[in-house]
């Protein structure tokens, strides 16, 4: 569970993952990278209501459509600091 890559949508709320791969066209990929969704960066899922995901990327909060989130592969990582308050 810790080293296998999985789609971002499978990360439970409150957990964090390191981005491994983004499957998207170059244009879209560049946009995501500019917003901080770059391979190597850590993202945390703050909310998953079945619609778009609410992510914490560093200090930014980013809304990401489910379709796109499926195509971002992450490795689950422990949170660097306790931020478990978002877990149910």
Residues that bind other proteins (CB under 8 A): 22, 24, 26-41, 46-47, 49-52, 54, 57-65, 67-68, 81-83, 85-86
Nearest to 35 by CA among 52, 20, 56: 56
b/e per residue, 6-34, with b = 16+ CB within 10 A? eebbebeebbbbebeebeeeeeebeebee
Please identify, using beta-carbon distances, which residue of 2 and 50 lies nearer to other proteins.
50
Cβ proximity to other proteins, 6 vs 29, nearer residue? 29
Q: Output the smallest distance, CB 4 to other proteins, in A.
A: 20
Backbone angles phi, psi at 16, to 5 degrees: -120, 155
User: Least distance in Å: CB of 38 to other proteins?
Assistant: 5
**Residue 1 or 80 having the CB closest to other proteins:** 80
């Amino acid at each position: 569970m810790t080293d296998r890559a999985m789609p971002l949508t499978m990360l439970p709320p409150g957990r964090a993952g390191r981005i491994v791969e983004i499957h998207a066209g170059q244009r879209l990929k560049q946009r995501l990278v500019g917003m901080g969704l770059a391979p190597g960066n850590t993202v945390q899922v703050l909310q998953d209501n079945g619609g778009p995901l609410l992510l914490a990327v560093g200090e930014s909060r980013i809304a990401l459509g489910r379709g796109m989130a499926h195509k971002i592969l992450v490795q689950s990582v422990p949170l660097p600091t306790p931020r478990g308050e978002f877990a149910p």
